[in-house]
Structure 1
Amino acid sequence: MRAAYLPGGRRVDLREVDTPVPGPGQVLVRVRASTICGSDIRAIYREHLGTGAEAYQGVVGGHEPAGEVVEVGPGCRERAVGDRVVVYHISGCGLCRECRRGYQISCTGSGRAGYGWQRDGGHADFVLAEERDLLPLPDALTFVDGAIVACGGATAYEALRRAEVSGDDSVLVTGLGPVGQLVGLFARAHGSGLVVGTDPSPQRRRAALDLGAVHVALDPGDAAGLGEVLGEGADVAVDASGAGPAQLQALELTRRWGRTVLVGEGGRLSVDVSEVIIHKQLTVHGSWVASTWRTADLLERLPRWGVHPEVVVTHRFGLDEVARAYEVADSAAGGKVAVLPHG
């Protein structure tokens, strides 16, 4: 089978390798869609960064796969050949407190391995997955929808659920890349009557408006415009940029007794804690991706909402074009980029 590796230095190595055979409790999935996440670009494609969760181990890239089951190993109890599935992108030890809560992303056990990071991921014709890491993909959703939910979509949804967003809330989204756009789309699905987005890129502001992800999109430097639209501030602010200035703006533009969620990775933040957080009585959440049960919940809700996450995709490539797919994703010229090994 074909499989793409990310050796660093903005290179992609497409190789022919043996198709894996599922062992006990494992499932072989034909990959139908594998989208590119910003963390793939930041921490693997450009250079190999970090230890622990970001320690790339020279495996097949891609941690947002969806596809169909083609073979099941001994002992599998729920998945069968032909099932449409999403691969939750972290395989945890299953024994630590975080795994038992469903937050495999925070697994503290020695068995933690991220697909596309420490074990082979979805930029291939097939991916070998643990049965426990698979979530059913409803027929009403596309494989690209499912791939986006595997990480980026679930990340956006978890952030909103942490803040307990409802139709009573105005929502500010700082950073209108794919995750920020999904935050806006899901906030509107929760009934929010005012979703405001900020981003320095005119293209991303325009895209968010065209998608219906936000009602208003402004440059973060437009203080007058933000004051006019938000008044005393947003009930909920979500930073999806991972940039210090935008994170600070999210805090500053959250109204008294409001909730702020920091979900974008990276950035350094310097803040007057008393003035910005304590005196305003804010609740501040750090939200790292999502739990398996929250991801499954989103997959169930999307058909009822009539929302398709794939609307944030602007470019699609076959597996033979995966190097070009990464070039486009790295340029940040568009939205989400999808790799489709089997069309």
Structure 2
Amino acid sequence: MRAAFVPEPGRVEVADFPVPRPRPDQLLVRMRHASVCGSDIHVVHHGFHDEEFLGVPGYPGHEGVGVIDESSGDAGLPPGTPVLTVPSGRLGCCFAEYQAVERRWLIPLPAAAVAETGIERLLLAQQLGTTVFALKRFLRSAPGARDGEGGTAAVIGAGSAGLFLLQLLLRRGYDVVAVSDLDEGRLAEAARLGAARTVRAPGEDFTEAVLEATGGRGADLVIEAAGFDATRAQAVAAVRKRGTVGCFGYPELPGLSPFPVDRAFRDTVAVEWCSGAQFEPGLASFREALTLIRTGAIAVDHCLRARCELEQVPKALELARTQAGGAPKVHITIAPNG
């Protein structure tokens, strides 16, 4: 099979490998499509890789869809079944023609859903599911949500995750007063999806925009979905007293990071972090995401505009890293017809 791999930090290549042999707890999946997650960039370029996975085919891709191979399957997932693959991020190897995946991290896709919606769109349920899971955590302490009502919210980062969170907040009745990003094209998408105001960083000040929109009070909930120390500080500055900051963005670097503890302490800010959607019982958030996509409740087509093929995975990762062209996400076609 053909597969991308990371021979050493900072470099991605594509080469030939043997088709993996699944363990007893795994099934073999013929991959159809994949997409680049922001965490993949951190793994390749920012020191978040696992040494034992350097050189492993398909690593670090973990957002994928495919079909159970003819040589694999079980009573619940027979050969030919389309599946969403949602392995724990550090175990993903979907930048390859085949991937061995633990049975517990495979979600079958009904034939009707594939026919009506398209397997490419259903792929986006992987990341949408992580944002559904994250918002559940963030709303545990957010003002307004505690009373069953929407409030004011703001989002830093208009990549695919930020735009999904924007839509989910609007569905919950929140007034999303501001969305910030470095790219004008992404901000145009945020405005189209319902953001009341967009903030082009670094020229415009996100905190000032949020305070202006809320009469100096700050937003009830500020979600940081960009993954920088500076933007986490902006989130704390823009949230109201006793409000909630939701940290969705990946750490900027391994190890200790600066954080405005004094400001968060004095304003009694609740800070919620999010990881581990793959370990939620029943993979509930991913299944909810599939329903949201099937019903058209959440728009995903903006995540399918930047496209590469398997042989172009190095290019795909570079496009995602540089945000070239303002694409919220980079899609990888592996085997369009299975």
Q: TM-score band (shorter)?
A: 0.7 to 0.9
Cα distance change on mapping 1:204 and 1:77 into 2, 3 Å? same
Structure 2 CA distance, aligned partners of 1:213 and 1:84?
A: 33
Quote the Cα distance in structure 2 between the aligned partners of 1:179 and 1:77.
34
The 2-side partners of 1:243 and 1:17 are apart by 36
- Counterpart of 2:329, as a letter, is K
Distance 1:55 1:330, change over 3 A: farther
Task: Specify the code of the residue in structure 2 equivalent to 1:302.
Answer: I
**Would you say the 8 A contact 1:263–1:289 is kept in 2?**
no
Q: 1:72 to 1:297 in 2, by over 3 A?
A: farther
Identify the residue that residue 82 of structure 1 maps to in structure 2. 80
The alpha-carbon distance between structure 1 residues 277 and 328, as it changes in their structure 2 partners (threshold 3 A), is closer
How do residues 136-215 of structure 1 correspond to structure 2 at under 5 angstroms?
Answer: 136-137=108-109, 139=113, 140-150=116-126, 152-164=127-139, 168-210=150-192, 212=193, 214-215=195-196
C-alpha change, 1:207 and 1:259, in structure 2 (3 Å) is same
- In the TM superposition, what is the alpha-carbon distance from 1:6 to its structure 2 partner? 2.0
Which shifted more, 80-89 or 295-304? 295-304
Q: Is the 8 A contact 1:181 1:312 kept in 2?
A: no
CA distance in 2, matches of 1:167, 1:78: 40
Letter in 1 for 2:12: V
Q: 1:249-288 counterparts in 2 under 5 A?
A: 249-267=234-252, 268-273=257-262, 276-288=263-275
- Counterpart for residue 230 of structure 1: 214
Find the counterpart in structure 2 of residue 323 from structure 1: 314
Cα distance, 1:279 vs structure 2: 4.1
Contact 1:170–1:194 (CA under 8 A) maintained in structure 2: yes
2:328 maps to 335
Matched letter for residue 114 of structure 1: L
**1:57 paired to 2:51:** no
Residue equivalent to 1:108: none
Q: Percent identity?
A: 24
Change over 3 Å in CA distance of 1:204–1:71 after alignment to 2: same
Q: Find runs of 4+ consecutive structure 1 residues off by over 6 angstroms.
A: none
Amino acid aligned to 2:56: V
Name the SS of the counterpart of 1:237 in structure 2: strand
Conservation of the 8 A alpha-carbon contact between 2:177 and 2:213:
no
TM-score normalised by the chain length of structure 2: 0.81
- Which residue is equivalent to 1:294? 285
In structure 2, list runs of 5 or more residues that go unmatched.
140-144
| Amino acid in structure 2 at the alignment position of 1:82 | G
Indicate yes or no: 2:290 matched with 1:314. no
Q: Contact (CA 8 Å) 2:7, 2:54: kept in 1 or not?
A: no
Q: Report the TM-score, using the length of structure 1 for normalisation.
A: 0.79
In 2, Cα distance between equivalents of 1:226 and 1:20: 50
CA contact (8 A) 1:145 1:308 kept: no
Aligned residue-pair number? 309
